[in-house]
Structure 1
Amino acid sequence: MAKRKDSKTKTKTVKKTALKSKKASKAKDVPAVADKKNKDEAEDKEKSKTEQRIEDNLILISQEANKKARWYVVHVYSGHEKKVAEALRQRTETLHLLDKILRVFIPTQDKIQIRRGQRRTVSEKIFPGYILVEMEMTDNAWLAIRTTEGVTGFVGMSSRPTPLPKSEVEAIMKYAEQSDTQYKADFVDGEAVRITDGPFNDFLGTVDNIDEERGKVSVLINIFGRETPVELDFLQVKKV
């Protein structure tokens, strides 16, 4: 009887230990699950912002289907890309060319800009002064675009504009869809700056190298009578 009691006691102890171990394992998993959830939510938010940016810059002029339509590059006044796209949309409707001119795309990417110690996200044009137009190249469609205010001409080697290869269009759109936000420097090599944070706070120096991908800048400062490079975040530096 004593042996049977001992056996039952051991079995209960093993079960309790296993249960405790299982609970402890679940408790350990909770932070990992929470981290994954937060990461997924952040990625979804970033993806949503990117999709919204693409949607804002892909101007649908017409829903007409046209198998002859191709993408062309149009040169416009820099900074007037959106204005030209809107003017082109209106002209297409007025001139009844909705079956010829379909879409306008202004490729952009989000960049983090550091200015006066403040961080903000800006949408930067990948090809300033250029827009992509999906259209069937007819005389009337060409004339409508060419005479739109703000347009300086089509890009092409000959008198007749050359359409972009499909592979190039896909590459440009894929590049614009990238959601990894890069930094944009507000200063240039050789520029005088003041360090505003960290062990070298209030030191004056000159910009030696800029790494926009990492948001880092190398600044030459005078230590012990010689110029020494120190790497800093964009937020730690201000123009003098």
Structure 2
Amino acid sequence: MMAGEDVQADNDLNWYVVLTKPRQENRAQRHLAEQGGEVFLPLLTVEKLRNGKRLTQQEVMFPGYLFLRCRAQSPLLNKVRSTPGARMLLRFGNEPVVVFATLVDNLRDRLEQHETTLFSEQQSVRITSGPFKDYQALFKQYDGEQRAIVLINLLNKQQELLVELNHLSA
């Protein structure tokens, strides 16, 4: 196989959107992968409070959907409806929806960045918006799913400040 043929082979692959049965995204992912498809199920790591304890768990980013990469003429596209956990391909009219590879790649990159931005105790963080924008602080702890308590030096004294997680960067 020549180098040009390898590029051409990659260009024949498309990403499609598969609709899944409720809460069966993992099952559909497993069975589609077993049938030879490349499957991408975007997962987010989230922290939740349960009974006063902080738990980290993975949740599906798009409940009821996943991405399948295969050739346009692949028999796998016709098998989606009979795959356990899957319902059908997302379609516009009679044609399955094709998703740009750059969109899927960008989504993967963003999820990888999100995974690395979880904060740990005593980690130095920067506040990115609000009245304390550009201040350095120390991460103390999470306060629910969307906020954190940070320690900031004000008037020569360390103060606790409640900040939205999306207003912090490492």
**Residue identity in the other structure for 1:173:** R
Q: Match of 2:17? A: 73
Does the 8 Å contact 1:78/1:129 carry over to 2? yes
RMSD between superposed Cα atoms in Å = 2.7
Write the deviation string for residues 56-80 of structure 1: whole angstroms up to 9, x where unpaired: xxxxxxxxx6541111110001321
Does the 8 Å contact 2:49/2:144 carry over to 1? no
TM-score scaled by structure 1? 0.44
Does the 8 Å contact 1:111/1:181 carry over to 2? no
Q: Match of 1:111? A: 46
Report the identity percentage. 24
Using the TM superposition, give the Cα deviation of residue 232 of structure 1 relative to its aligned residue in structure 2, in angstroms.
7.5
Write the deviation string for residues 97-135 of structure 1: whole angstroms up to 9, x where unpaired: x4xx3x111101111110110111111111111111111
Write the deviation string for residues 3-55 of structure 1: whole angstroms up to 9, x where unpaired: xxxxxxxxxxxxxxxxxxxxxxxxxxxxxxxxxxxxxxxxxxxxxxxxxxxxx
Does the 8 Å contact 1:75/1:129 carry over to 2? yes
**Residue identity in the other structure for 2:147:** R
TM-score scaled by structure 2? 0.60
Q: Match of 2:75? A: 140
Does the 8 Å contact 1:112/1:181 carry over to 2? no
CA distance in 1, matches of 2:118, 2:83: 33
Using the TM superposition, give the Cα deviation of residue 88 of structure 1 relative to its aligned residue in structure 2, in angstroms.
2.0
Equivalent residue pairs, number? 119
Decide which of 18, 21, 27 is 1:83's aligned counterpart: 27
After the TM superposition, which residues 1-240 of structure 1 pair with which residues of structure 2 at under 5 Å, given as runs? 66-90=10-34, 92=35, 98=36, 101=37, 103-138=38-73, 140-177=75-112, 178-179=114-115, 180-181=117-118, 212-215=145-148
Change (3 A) 1:212 1:120: closer
> Which structure has the larger Rg over C-alpha atoms?
1
**Residue identity in the other structure for 1:72:** Y
| Secondary structure, counterpart of 1:72 in structure 2 | strand
Using the TM superposition, give the Cα deviation of residue 175 of structure 1 relative to its aligned residue in structure 2, in angstroms.
2.3
Q: Match of 2:137? A: none
Gaps of 5+ in 2: 1-8, 120-142, 150-160, 164-170
Does the 8 Å contact 1:78/1:130 carry over to 2? no
The answer to which structure has the higher strand fraction is: 2
| Secondary structure, counterpart of 1:149 in structure 2 | coil
Gaps of 5+ in 1: 1-64, 93-97, 183-209, 217-230, 234-240
The answer to which structure has the higher helix fraction is: 1
